[in-house]
Amino acid sequence: MKLNIIIIVLCSIVLSFTINEFGYLFMSIPSFIVLAYNLCDLILKIINKNHQPKRELNKNFQCIFLIGLIPVFLSFKDFEDTIGGYNLFWKLVFLSLIFTVLFTVILSRYFNFNNDFRFYNVLAICICFFLFIPNLGILINTHISNETERKETIIINYKTETKKTKGGYSYFLFIKTQYDSNERLDVKKELYNAIKDDNEIVLTLRKGILDYDYITKFDVK
Q: Is the pLDDT of residue 98 over 60?
A: yes
Can you tell me the distance from the alpha carbon of 151 to that of 34, in angstroms, rounded to the nearest whole number?
42
* Residue of 44, 11, 58 lying closest to 30 (CA atoms): 11
Q: 150-220 has which CATH code?
A: 2.40.50
Where residue 72 falls among pLDDT bands split at 50, 70, 90?
confident
Where in the chain are all domains bearing CATH 2.40.50? 150-220
pLDDT of residue 14: 95
pLDDT of residue 56: 56
Report pLDDT digits (tens) over 138-180: 999 999 988 889 999 998 988 899 888 777 888 999 999 999 8
Residues of the chain with pLDDT > 90: what percent?
Answer: 50
* Residue of 129, 194, 135, 203 lying closest to 159 (CA atoms): 194
Q: Is the pLDDT of residue 51 over 70?
A: no
The CA distances from residue 39 to 1, 45, 74, 108, in Å, are 10, 10, 29, 14
The lowest-confidence range among 3-17, 101-115, 202-216 is 101-115
| 64 vs 9, higher pLDDT | 9
Mean pLDDT, range 90-104, rounded to an integer: 95
